[in-house]
Chain A
Amino acid sequence: MSDAARAWMRAVQLTLRVQWRQAATWTAVFAIAGVAGAEGYKAAYPTAASRLSFVRSVQGNYGLQALYGVARRIGTVGGFTTWRTTWMLGLLAGAWGLLASTGVLRGEEEAGRRELVLSGLLTSRRAMAADLAALAVLLLGSSALYGASLAAVGLPVGGAFLLAGGTLAVGAFFAGVGSVTAQAFPDRRHAMGSAGALLGASFLVRVLADGTRTLGWLRWATPLGWLENLRAFAGTDAAAGVPLLAGAIVLVAVAARLAAVRDLGRGLLPECDRSRVRSHELGGMAGFTVLTARGAVVGWSAGIGLYSFVVGLLTKDLTDLLRQQVALRSMLGRLGVASLVRPQDLLGLMFAFVVLPVALFAVTQVGAVRDEESSGRLDAILARSVGRVRWMLTRLAASILGVVIVAVVSGVLAWAGASVHDSGVPLLSMLTAGFNCVPAAVLFLGVAAAAFGIVPRATAPVGVGVVVASYLVELVGALTKAPGWVLDLSAFHHVAPSPAAQVGVEAAVAMTVVGLVGVAAGAAALRRRDVIGA
């Protein structure tokens, strides 16, 4: 092997080493969700008769299909598992792909490590090929393990691997998207944000395609729709996977061409080195905090708000349909919604899904607080007359305010969407639904804040991990009729489906208090510990 080839192999190993933990975590999430879906279905619908009545309850129900996708062969374990988990796992695979590719292709460069790699034998094109080869290995490994775990619980092997491969192909597609945006922007934040916006858009298109009777063709316009069109366990159309893989290859090729014509450390988009001075907005700690948090609040509000708007838009149509579906009610009862005859009921069901991204927003804000410390910028702040506790509380107060803004915006936009079709949902009840997302988000923020004080290097993993674990408990637990104490572990279980139901004031107060206690614990721990870098 030549020296250059050996260097290339080392670069692949390096990326594998940096990325394998995340890959293992994502794979575990895929496998657990898939296995739980299959096992949950077997437990909940053991007999042919029960499955038949379940199928009847869902057929033609565009409301549930908007959420989960088109229901195909849901009378079988495989069909049900695909329908019930793929909408989320496809999203997660896409998120993994774009996080990983922007991380290796832009984050490393931004951190200044890339130039060390490139000062050796590797050209930038080969280094990029090494990174993407490593990601391909991880995606392949992940899909093999995910497929094997589906097959292990008795699903047909062909369908299991088709579903797993298709899901991770969405990851590959968005890794491609991320590698293009990584060329366009000089920083990882923007590369990640723009790729994430495209992922969100393809989810919305999928919701529109599946939730309406006339826009079904839109499924061919979104990678998440291609994944659905694979029809794993339901007639199998492997050709639908072609655009996913071909798209990934084309995107990577485009990224490689773009990488060849740009300077190291810069993006392709024209970048303004200068900016007007906003000193009037930098009035000490508070003004500075607002300036730092503003971008994230606007971005998340836009993303979650757009979803809420579309949900609102669909409400009227869907409830009209649902009203005809009597058998559905027992199934939805399991999701915590007693009846679905009013638009509010459907909005309550849909808003249960808004709590998740709002909670994720909250924990990423605590992650940003930790970033300030690990990057060394905190030293410059604390070396002035700002106390560390005041700094942390200012930042987290701004984060909580941001959570409230994001939640209220999504409530208002859902109302606006519903009003287009005159659904008769009052603004006040949608504002309430928005606010209803806040206590759980504050709870997760408090957990992350406690982690920040006690084990600072684990802030983001603990924060995101607790949110995801909590969500899985609720999702899987509700399906499998898990004992009450298990469901009680999940904060999502304590969020009332407002506006379908009254806000559970006690639960809301309790979650808020626990969150604030977490913040206080984090602050107390921060007061006692060292300021530590990366």
Chain B
Amino acid sequence: MEAVITTDELSKRFGRTVALDRLTLEVGRGEVFGFLGPNGAGKTTTVRLLLGLLKPSSGGARVLGLDAWGDPTRLHARLAYVPGEFAVWPQLTGGEMLELLGSLHGSVDLAYRDELCERFDFDPTKRGRSYSKGNRQKIALIAALMTRAELFVFDEPTAGLDPLMEATFRACVGEARHRGQTVFLSSHILAEVEALCDRIGILRHGRLVDLGSLDELRHLETHTVEIRFAGDLPDLSTVPGASHVAWTGRSVRLEVLGSTAPLLQAIAPYDAVSIESREPTLEEVFLSHYGPDGT
């Protein structure tokens, strides 16, 4: 798969603060990549480095085959960016801003722009300062989507959107994926990432702590298993990967790290009446990284 974004030990320091620490990452063409992390993890710093708005302290980023810091204008002609909070020009109308941003970008699909205005229920005739937060965000989204760029860089793009508009956004991303466009989606909204993304990177304190498909990340994580026995009770404390074994009468609840095969072997001779196993939600994956007992 052709790489659209490649970062190599990409780092950014602001004074003594390390905002991003040796990020190495690859996003392939046509992929929808989710970039997850709590507030202050370094997501926006990464996005601004990918756009060439910040200069790497060390390492580098190549986007669409171009050096992000060295050749930003050629790069920007081929990508579209949505910031988390779009600062409007108070004196311009929404339509004028779309016009301006389109002409600054270069190429715009005008028919698609009008369609997007319709789908996002956006009134382009009002002045910038009179738009609400959600409507400001729509300007940024429409301005990006209407370019039909090869790569979309979204930095918490749905902040302030209502659920209906969020659904519209998801539909647009789905269509973009269908057309083969690549999406880099930085977010802390798990449902959004879970619904849209092929692959996920998790950032914490400026470090990439996990990287993989949703399935791969789940396999790294614990399953919660509940078993009820009819006859003798097995000793489960020695099963590889098992922990937090808690008996309640004839029922046991335990956590299994990685594969459940050793557990199934261990209980095979016993009379297990029911087995319930839950895959962790992304939320649990996330919490296990950031929660109080996360690593």
- Whether the Cβ atoms of A282 and B126 lie closer than 8 Å is no
Interfacial residues of chain A within 278-302, with CB under 8 A of chain B in the complex: 278-279, 282-285, 288, 292, 295
Least CB distance, A193 to chain B, in whole angstroms: 13
The answer for the CA separation of A174 and B12 in the assembled complex, in Å, is: 47
- Output the residue of A277, A380, A528, A530 with the most chain B CB within 10 A: A380
Name A389's closest neighbour in chain B (CB-CB): B73
Q: Which of A148-156, A227-235, A371-379 contacts B (4 or more CB under 8 A)?
A: A371-379
Of B81, B89, B126, which contacts A383 at CB under 8 A? B81
Bound complex: CA A530 to CA B56 (Å):
9
Interface string of A174-194 (1 = CB under 8 A from B): 000000000000110000000
The complex places the Cα of A420 from the Cα of B51 at a distance, in Å, of 59
**Which of A186, A275, A283, A292 counts the most chain B CB atoms within 10 A?**
A275
B72 CB contact (under 8 Å) in A285, A382, A529: A382
Residues of chain A within 8 A (CB-CB) of B73 are: 385-387, 390
In contact, A384 and B99 (Cβ under 8 angstroms): no
Cα-based distance from A273 to B48 in the complex (angstroms): 33
Which of A277, A288, A292 interacts with B95 by CB under 8 Å? A277
CB neighbours (8 Å) of A14 from chain B are none
8 tightest A-B CB contacts, nearest first: A376-B87, A383-B81, A385-B77, A384-B104, A384-B105, A531-B53, A387-B73, A279-B99
Q: How far is the CA of A283 from the CA of B102 in the complex (A)?
A: 10
Q: Is B96 an interface residue when CB atoms closer than 8 A count as contact?
A: yes
Contact partner of A274 (CB less than 8 A), chosen from B89, B93, B106, is: B93
Name A385's contact: one of B53, B91, B105 (CB within 8 Å). Answer: B105
Is B96 a contact partner of A277 (Cβ separation < 8 A)? yes
Are A383 and B55 neighbours in the complex by a CB distance under 8 Å? no
Query: A380 CA to B89 CA in the complex, in Å?
Result: 11
B140 located at the interface, meaning its Cβ lies under 8 Å from any Cβ of chain A in the complex: yes
Name the B residues within 8 Å of A273 (CB-CB). 126-127, 130
Q: A282-B99, A381-B104, A383-B81 are in contact. Are A277 and B125 (CB under 8 A)?
A: yes
Question: B48 near A531 (CB under 8 angstroms)?
Answer: yes
Hey, which bits of chain B sit against chain A, CB under 8 A? 48, 51-55, 72-74, 76-77, 79-81, 83, 85-91, 93, 95-96, 99-101, 103-106, 125-127, 129-130, 140, 143, 153
A272 adjacent to chain B (CB < 8 Å): yes
Q: Which residues of A contact B91 (CB under 8 A)?
A: 292, 295
Bound Cα distance from A272 to B80, whole angstroms: 31
The SS class assigned to the A binding surface is loop
Which residues on the A side are within 8 Å of B127 (C-beta)?
A: 272-275
Q: How far is the CA of A122 from the CA of B106 in the complex (A)?
A: 49
20 A-B contacts (beta carbon < 8 Å) = A186-B129, A187-B90, A273-B126, A277-B96, A277-B125, A279-B99, A282-B99, A282-B103, A288-B100, A375-B87, A376-B87, A377-B89, A379-B48, A379-B81, A384-B76, A385-B105, A386-B76, A387-B72, A529-B55, A530-B55
A282-B96, A387-B73 as given contacts; A382 in contact with B51, CB under 8 Å: yes
- Per the bound structure, the CA–CA distance linking A382 and B72 in Å amounts to 8
Q: How far is the CA of A272 from the CA of B76 in the complex (A)?
A: 35
Name A337-378 residues within 8 Å CB distance of B: 375-377
Considering the chains assembled together, what is the distance between the CA atoms of A375 and B55 in angstroms? 20
* Residues from chain A with Cβ under 8 Å of B76 in the complex: 382-386
A377-B89, A387-B73 given as contacts; is B54 within 8 A of A284 (CB)?
A: no
Check A284–B103 contact: CB distance below 8 A. Answer: yes
* Contact call A275/B54, Cβ cutoff below 8 A: no
Q: Which residue of B lies closest to A374 (CB)?
A: B87
Chain B residue nearest to A273 in the complex (CB): B130
Please determine whether B83 and A379 come into contact, CB atoms closer than 8 angstroms: yes
CB-CB nearest in chain A for B54: A530
CB within 8 Å for A382 and B53 given contacts A284-B103, A284-B104, A376-B85 = yes
Contact B48 A384 (CB under 8 A): no
Shortest Cβ gap from B78 to chain A (Å): 9
The docked-state distance in angstroms from the alpha carbon of A382 to that of B75 is 11
Minimum Cβ distance to chain B for residue A375 (Å): 5
- Interface 1/0 per residue, A384-419 and B, CB below 8 Å: 111110100000000000000000000000000000
Q: Give the residues in chain A near B96, CB-CB below 8 Å.
A: 275, 277-279, 282
Given the complex, which residues of B lie within 8 Å of A383, measured CB to CB?
Answer: 51, 53, 76, 79-81, 153
User: Which residue of chain A has the shortest Cβ distance to B144 in the bound complex?
Assistant: A383
| Distance of B23 from chain A, by nearest CB (Å) | 17
